[in-house]
Amino acid sequence: MSAPAITPTTGTLFASGADEEDDDVPYSPPWWGPAYVTVVMSLRGLVANKLRAALTMLGVIIGVAAVIVAIAIGQGSKAAVQASLQRLGTNVLTVRPGSQRRGNISFGQGSRSTLKPADADAILKGAPSVGRLSPEANGNRQVKYDNKNTSVSVNGTGEFYPVISNHGVKTGRYFKPNEIRSLSRVAVMGSSTAKELFDRASPIGKTIRVGDNNFTVIGVLKEKGGQGFRNPDDGVYIPYTTALRRVLGQQNLGSISVQARSFDLMRKAQGEVEAILRKQHKLEGDAASDFIIFNQADLSEAQNAQQDTFGSLITYLAVVSLAVGGIGIMNIMLVSVTERTREIGVRKAIGARKADVLGQFLCESLFLSLVGGLLGVIVGVVGSNAIGTANGWLVVISPTSVVLAFGVSAFVGIFFGFYPALKAANLRPIEALRYE
């Protein structure tokens, strides 16, 4: 009988045949084994019914895409409103005459002639929260140059009009305070009017006829774009004193544009302007004001509230669509559980645990919702851009909305898939095997 061998490295004694595999030791699968089996079984179940799985995902795709498109349109609309307000100028208050009434008949805002140049001077001197202002008077006149003529808006303004209205000078310059005081006949043209009368030639230094008066062109404003019924590019700008005395033949202003020193001071500036004008117009006690002050901040808040309401309505409709997709997932999963009752019985009979079956069907539901959510994100992004291009709308696709929509789709899969999965997990093996 030979002696036991000693390994040279460890000195461990091995009996003859001790290095052979022990078949009695049970196999222990790796930690990822059950999860792998669950995923494979789930995918096999879905692949076996491709068309049904695709139709089920369609509800999620439509819901997620609708959420993204709705939020993109709402955000784009809000951004467009903010851009429009920005074009009107920043921190701006607009003072207009009040409405004239005869009996029970109102002639509309601006029908009273209550604003005078002295009111603008009083505001500038007595309102510390006001940085700049521009008295304004408007009217339509025929403007001529050489053999060309056009009927445009003649706008009498102060020297700070380009800054307050965010309508800068492209070439040349704007008029100066001494030209306003001296009723100088100088004019700055809007971009459309300059192109209409001079085509590509420079109008600087040329003489145009506004009504019955000759004016020297000293500048051209940048293109700004239309604002409702008014296009500031289609006009001629002259000193307001010249407009009142020489062109329009009137003594009262059409409006006063007031710029607060900062956005935070707009409310304070509005109160100061109101107090000064009431004093100027000798309005005491509870007497109604004969002027109206429009606050750009109020307009912005009103527009934002309107856009938020519209956006919320569309988003709620999109969420309902997503919920309908989730109900579709639940319905299909319940049908799947019914069809695969015997399969569930076999799995549980050979050792599958309740958690294994629950995980399998939850995985199927989650897969449907995640793939549907991913495809919905693609459809939503492409659809938003297509809708914006087709209608000329500004759309803003927010990464937050994409993540939110995708996350909701995953939640829908788990929420609506849990009950069918639980129903499958609770089946008793014997009853499942007997099911026909």
315-337 per-position pLDDT tens digit: 777 778 777 777 877 877 777 77
Interatomic CA distance for residues 234 and 194, integer angstroms: 9
Interatomic CA distance for residues 432 and 213, integer angstroms: 100
Q: Measure the CA angle with vertex 207, ends 201 and 213; round to 5°.
A: 145
Q: Which of 38-42, 286-290, 339-343 comes out lowest in average pLDDT?
A: 38-42
Q: What is the pLDDT of residue 406?
A: 83
91 falls within a domain: no
Provide the angle, in degrees to the nearest 10, between the axes of the packed helices 399-425 and 296-339: 30
Give the model's confidence band at 7: pLDDT under 50 very low, under 70 low, under 90 confident, else very high. Answer: very low
Q: What is the pLDDT of residue 239?
A: 96
Whether the per-residue pLDDT at 11 is higher than 80: the answer is no
Average pLDDT value for residue range 296-302: 70
Whether the per-residue pLDDT at 148 is higher than 60: the answer is yes
Q: What is the pLDDT of residue 326?
A: 78
Q: Which of 3-12, 106-115, 203-212 comes out lowest in average pLDDT?
A: 3-12
Residue predicted with more confidence, 100 or 282: 282
Q: Are 50 and 173 contained in the same domain?
A: no
Q: What is the pLDDT of residue 17?
A: 44
Whether the per-residue pLDDT at 393 is higher than 90: the answer is no
19 falls within a domain: no
Q: Are 270 and 339 contained in the same domain?
A: no
Task: List the alpha helices (DSSP H) in 232-295.
Answer: 240-242, 266-280
Interatomic CA distance for residues 422 and 365, integer angstroms: 12
Q: Are 285 and 307 contained in the same domain?
A: no
Task: List the alpha helices (DSSP H) in 48-154.
Answer: 50-87, 117-126
Q: Which structure tokens are listed for 281?
A: 């117009």
Whether the per-residue pLDDT at 149 is higher than 60: the answer is yes
Q: Which structure tokens are listed for 11?
A: 């000195």
Give the model's confidence band at 18: pLDDT under 50 very low, under 70 low, under 90 confident, else very high. Answer: very low
Average pLDDT value for residue range 415-433: 74
Task: List the alpha helices (DSSP H) in 281-398.
Answer: 296-339, 341-349, 354-391
Give the chain's length. Answer: 436
Q: Which structure tokens are listed for 313?
A: 């309505």
Of these ranges, 149-158, 383-392, 401-410, 411-420, the one predicted with the greatest mean pLDDT is 149-158
Interatomic CA distance for residues 37 and 125, integer angstroms: 82
124 falls within a domain: yes
Q: Are 309 and 280 contained in the same domain?
A: no
3-class SS of residue 171: strand
Of these ranges, 199-208, 223-232, 393-402, 421-430, the one predicted with the greatest mean pLDDT is 199-208
Interatomic CA distance for residues 285 and 269, integer angstroms: 21
Judge contact between 236 and 157, C-beta under 8 A.
Answer: no
Give the number of C-alpha atoms closer than 13 A to the C-alpha of residue 122, restricted to the C-beta side.
15
336 falls within a domain: yes
386 falls within a domain: yes
Q: What is the pLDDT of residue 157?
A: 96
Q: Are 282 and 160 contained in the same domain?
A: yes
Q: Are 177 and 200 contained in the same domain?
A: yes
Task: List the alpha helices (DSSP H) in 110-156.
Answer: 117-126
Q: Is 391 exposed, middle or buried (0-12, 13-18, 19+ CB in 10 A)?
A: exposed
Q: What is the pLDDT of residue 126?
A: 92
Q: Are 332 and 226 contained in the same domain?
A: no
Of 289, 322, 348, which residue is a domain's last?
289
Closest CA to 395 of 404, 385, 403: 385
Provide the angle, in degrees to the nearest 10, between the axes of the packed helices 354-391 and 341-349: 140
Whether the per-residue pLDDT at 192 is higher than 50: the answer is yes
1 falls within a domain: no
Give the model's confidence band at 80: pLDDT under 50 very low, under 70 low, under 90 confident, else very high. Answer: confident
Interatomic CA distance for residues 211 and 142, integer angstroms: 5
Residue predicted with more confidence, 346 or 258: 258
Q: Are 368 and 285 contained in the same domain?
A: no
Q: Which of 6-20, 43-57, 238-252 comes out lowest in average pLDDT?
A: 6-20
- DSSP 8-state symbol, 129: T
Give tens-digit pLDDT for 235-277: 999 999 999 999 998 889 999 999 999 888 888 999 999 999 9
Interatomic CA distance for residues 304 and 80, integer angstroms: 11
234 falls within a domain: yes
Q: What is the pLDDT of residue 51?
A: 80
Whether the per-residue pLDDT at 35 is higher than 70: the answer is no
Which residue type occupies 95? Answer: V
Average predicted confidence (pLDDT) for the chain? 80
Interatomic CA distance for residues 396 and 381, integer angstroms: 10
Interatomic CA distance for residues 232 and 169, integer angstroms: 13
Q: What is the pLDDT of residue 111?
A: 46
Interatomic CA distance for residues 100 and 392, integer angstroms: 40
Whether the per-residue pLDDT at 13 is higher than 50: the answer is no
Whether the per-residue pLDDT at 92 is higher than 80: the answer is yes
Of 267, 289, 311, which residue is a domain's last?
289
Q: Which structure tokens are listed for 205?
A: 């230094």
Q: What is the pLDDT of residue 227?
A: 60
Whether the per-residue pLDDT at 50 is higher than 70: the answer is yes
Whether the per-residue pLDDT at 191 is higher than 60: the answer is yes
**In the block, which residue shows the tokens 């709705």?**
70
Judge contact between 382 and 358, C-beta under 8 A.
Answer: no
Average pLDDT value for residue range 223-228: 71
What is the H or E stretch that residue 132 is in? strand 130-145
For residues 221-238, one letter each, b for 16 or more C-beta atoms within 10 angstroms of the residue's C-beta and e for the rest, the string is: beebeeeeeebbbbbbbb
Judge contact between 96 and 354, C-beta under 8 A.
Answer: no
Q: Are 278 and 313 contained in the same domain?
A: no
Whether the per-residue pLDDT at 402 is higher than 60: the answer is yes
Domain count, the chain: 2
**In the block, which residue shows the tokens 């009434």?**
101
Q: Are 187 and 253 contained in the same domain?
A: yes
397 falls within a domain: yes
3-class SS of residue 89: coil
In whole angstroms, what separates CA 245 from the centre of its chain?
Answer: 46
Judge contact between 153 and 292, C-beta under 8 A.
Answer: no
Q: Are 284 and 312 contained in the same domain?
A: no
Judge contact between 138 and 218, C-beta under 8 A.
Answer: no
Closest CA to 194 of 169, 227, 161, 214: 169
Q: Are 349 and 234 contained in the same domain?
A: no
Structural domain including 131 reads: 113-289
Judge contact between 97 and 290, C-beta under 8 A.
Answer: yes
Of 289, 319, 349, which residue is a domain's last?
289
